[in-house]
Amino acid sequence: MTIKVAALQMCSGMDPEKNAATMVKLARQAAADGAVYVQTPEMTGALMRDRDALRAILRDEDADLIAKTASELARELNIHVHVGSTAIARPDGKIANRGFVFGPNGQRICTYDKIHMFDVDLDNGESWRESAAYEPGKDARIVDLPFGKLGFAICYDVRFPSLFRTEAMAGAEILTVPAAFTRQTGEAHWHVLLRARAIENGAFVIAAAQAGLHEDGRETYGHSLIIDPWGRVLAEGPAVGEAVVMAEIDLAVVKASRAKIPNLKNGRDFNLDILPALAKGGMTV
């Protein structure tokens, strides 16, 4: 089945209403051009460093503006809308970095909470402690949609190949990686990581990205990508600013790629031996 898919590149600010309006504009443009699935970036609803200010605008998933708007969009446009993620208030008082998929009837099909927290210190002095505010998810997830099986990840998850392999082994044909990659890490690793995840798993990868200088002062890398199972970039967004990044994908390519390189079938269990250090002039077995 050949379908059109779209990654909606954004530069989310601190006002959820403005960000929702941008999502609506881009999704309508993508649907008008034939997309049946659209994906937004990580933290579509708001990007803000001030955690207290973020908590002040948080809602649970039933009252969240981005989720409600995405549901209405999916019904209006008769498409699948994937909110890459947005901040959601959990019943226990913590925050979830949560993605949503809504079907053409506007019903929520599934959610996914980001599993791996971005706790890093970068060379340029930036320091991030996502775990200080967000509760990590515990469940990998795939969903069987009319056009294919989607596997879920969010941003920093891309650095953990076992997540993607688990989803591919369970049948995922399209791997999704909505993100808000920093400019520094994006310049170094964005393309190679996403292409590697596609090649390793013989799957399409769709990665909608945040892009540009945000109101809170952070800078994200952009370059939203749609990649085929052979690692070829089918479509790419700009470094800065909003964009609708679209491509036609044919799931027959997944089957063909996995037949050429059947590494999902060829994997084997193995033991790991850790050998002692060699004594000077000695040997080990």
Residues tagged active-site: 42, 114, 155
Q: At what angle do helices 183-201 and 161-169 cross, to 10 degrees?
A: 30
* 207 closest CA partner among 6, 2, 70: 6
* Gap between the Cα atoms of 143 and 207, Å rounded: 17
How many residues are present in the chain? 285
Helix (H) or strand (E) holding 26: helix 16-32
Q: List the structure tokens of 147.
A: 């056009």
Q: Which residue has the tokens 């927290």?
A: 117
CA triplet 11, 102, 36: central angle to 5 degrees? 80
Q: List the structure tokens of 196.
A: 């590697």
* Gap between the Cα atoms of 276 and 76, Å rounded: 64
* 221 closest CA partner among 210, 206, 208, 232: 210
* Gap between the Cα atoms of 261 and 56, Å rounded: 50
Question: From the centroid of its chain, how far is CA 280?
Answer: 50
* Gap between the Cα atoms of 229 and 161, Å rounded: 15
Neighbouring C-beta atoms of residue 219, cutoff 10 Å: 18
Amino acid letter for position 117: M
